[in-house]
């Protein structure tokens, strides 16, 4: 059984990572499993526990950290987010490609821990900062302070995009999804060719 890829997708909050992911998940050929993170943040309207996130208490998050269950984690605008390690590894060993939607700090943790040829990192960038601000404001149920914190963090994240193997601009969802699918298929082909040589 060939091990699946670990695909790290980062990008500022509000850039549209979730929408692009939904588009990629429509293509069964990609065989993608989305890794649902743990978070201590409050559920937004329309979200469901176990679908967007596992919504946990601070105590539950602490227990996961203490048990070594998190591949990486980070604090973001007062809340914590983390990737459950066991599920990611099990899916990859079963041959599926696994997608992590995590911030730049989390991506840096994974990239330094995992020297694995099956890891590929992608930064999803907004076409402009103005479009990003409009999106963050449009969907937010948060206070102006929290919105400002998200915008500030977005600026810092975009400045670090060159840490990634690839930068994809989210001009349209369809194009961004196609670009990412191509990166995934190219990576699988390159690994297969190396295995044959
Ligand atoms: P939101 O509150 O908008 O859902 O997410 C805020 C930020 O946390 C986003 O940049 C998102 O990518 C990031 N994030 C979500 N899950 C994780 C995770 O498991 N680990 C890390 N490091 N960041 C995450």
pLDDT single digits (tens) 24-46:
999 999 999 999 999 999 999 99
Say what the pLDDT of residue 118 is.
95
Length of the chain: 197
| Most informative mutation of 77, 103, 136 for ligand 1 (most atoms within 8 A of CB) | 103
Whose Cα sits closest to atom 9 in ligand 1?
13
3-class secondary structure, 136: helix
Edge-to-edge strands, sheet with 79-84: 53-55, 37-39, 79-84, 70-76
Handedness of CA 147, 153, 158, 163 (dihedral sign): negative
Question: Ligand 1 centre from 127 Cα, in Å?
Answer: 20
Those residues with Cβ within 8 angstroms of residue 151's Cβ, 6 or more apart along the chain or in another chain = 132, 133, 136
For the chain, what percent of residues have pLDDT higher than 70? 98
In a 13 Å sphere around the CA of 179, the CA atoms on its Cβ side amount to 17
Contact 105, 148 (CB under 8 A): no
The pLDDT score that the predictor gives to residue 14 is: 87
Q: What is the reported pLDDT for 195?
A: 80
pLDDT higher for 138 or 81? 81
- Predicted TM-score (pTM) of the model is 0.91
Q: Whose CA is nearest to atom 17 of ligand 1?
A: 102
pLDDT band of residue 6 (cuts 50, 70, 90) is very high
Which amino acids bring their CB within 6 angstroms of ligand 1?
13, 37, 41, 72-74, 76, 81-83, 101-103, 105-106
Atom of ligand 1 nearest to the CA of 10: 12
**What is the per-residue pLDDT for 105?**
92
Q: Which of 84, 85, 76, 129 is nearest to 105 (CA)?
A: 76
Contact between 35 and 189 under an 8 Å Cβ cutoff? The reply is: no
């Amino acid at each position: 059984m060939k091990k699946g890829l670990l695909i790290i997708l980062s990008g500022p909050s509000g850039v549209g990572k979730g929408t692009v992911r939904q588009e990629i998940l429509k293509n069964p050929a990609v065989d993608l499993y989305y890794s649902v993170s743990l978070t201590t943040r409050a559920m937004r309207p329309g979200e469901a526990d176990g679908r967007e996130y596992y919504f946990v208490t601070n105590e539950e998050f602490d227990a996961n950290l203490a048990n070594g269950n998190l591949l990486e984690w980070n604090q973001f605008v007062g809340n914590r987010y983390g990737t459950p390690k066991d599920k990611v590894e099990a899916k990859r060993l079963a041959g599926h490609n696994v997608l992590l939607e995590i911030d730049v700090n989390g991506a840096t943790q994974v990239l330094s821990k995992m020297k694995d040829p099956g890891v590929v990192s992608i930064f999803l960038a907004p076409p402009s900062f103005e479009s990003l601000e409009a999106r963050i404001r449009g969907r937010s149920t948060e206070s102006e302070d929290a919105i400002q914190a998200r915008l500030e963090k977005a600026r810092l994240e975009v400045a670090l995009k060159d840490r990634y193997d690839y930068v994809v601009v989210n001009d349209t969802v369809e194009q961004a999804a196609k670009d990412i699918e191509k990166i995934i298929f190219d990576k699988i082909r390159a690994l297969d060719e190396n295995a044959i040589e």
